[in-house]
Chain A
């Protein structure tokens, strides 16, 4: 199919690391993005990775990209209760601006 796949739920304890996984569909995707959506809020862009990179780190966030398996992951170190939200991965296929293909989102719950 054409869907971007994510597991729907993840629960972690405060202070632990969270790893959110995503499988995308198009091997020619140029950019891959992670968004965060808190209850009642819009989408906040967290980070992105270009397809010629394997890893990108930004403070507590680490993105890993495996192009061979079309697998993307977002690791959140030292997860806090404020990180509880829905996390979406999205891919940009080809050169078309503005058209992103999203997964259904992973609900991250952080327990104190």
Chain B
């Protein structure tokens, strides 16, 4: 299984500011995924990050609001821009293994509160 770390683990931010979340994986992976878990809700995929190309965003998510970087095969960042209280969520980084079950692993998450 992959070991995924995220920084910061939590933060409290002011409305209108931006926060960059870092994700580090212990092995090289082609794709990395960013999910959001709003309070009491299920997880929703924000975007897929491939090294060397622009991220692919899901419906309802845009690059201006959630810019993503993928400088190498073990690292990615997600920025939450111009934050509002509605952005208060847990943001999780994820990777997929190439094993038979295509097991998907998640980082510990970044708990963001916007005031």
Instruction: Give A contacts to B, CB under 8 Å.
Output: 4, 31, 33, 35, 41-43, 45, 48, 50, 88, 90, 92, 97-100, 102-105
Tell me the complex Cα distance, A31–B97, Å. 13
Contact B92 A43 (CB under 8 A): yes
Candidates B1, B33, B40, B103; contact of A104 at CB < 8 Å = B40
Tell me the complex Cα distance, A48–B106, Å. 15
A41-B108, A90-B43, A102-B44 given; name 19 further pairs at CB < 8 Å.
Answer: A33-B104, A41-B109, A42-B106, A42-B107, A42-B109, A43-B43, A43-B92, A43-B109, A45-B105, A48-B101, A48-B103, A90-B104, A98-B33, A98-B104, A99-B33, A100-B43, A102-B42, A103-B42, A104-B41
Contact A97 B102 (CB under 8 A): yes
Contact B106 A43 (CB under 8 A): yes
Those of B83-115 within 8 Å (CB) of chain A:
92, 94, 96, 101-109
| A interface: dominant SS | strand
Tell me the complex Cα distance, A98–B106, Å. 11
Interface check B45, CB cutoff 8 A: yes
Instruction: Give B contacts to A, CB under 8 Å.
Output: 1, 31, 33, 40-45, 48, 58, 92, 94, 96, 101-109
A104 CB contacts on chain B under 8 angstroms: 40-42
Tell me the complex Cα distance, A43–B71, Å. 25
B45 CB contacts on chain A under 8 angstroms: 98-100
Tell me the complex Cα distance, A97–B58, Å. 13
Contact B106 A31 (CB under 8 A): no
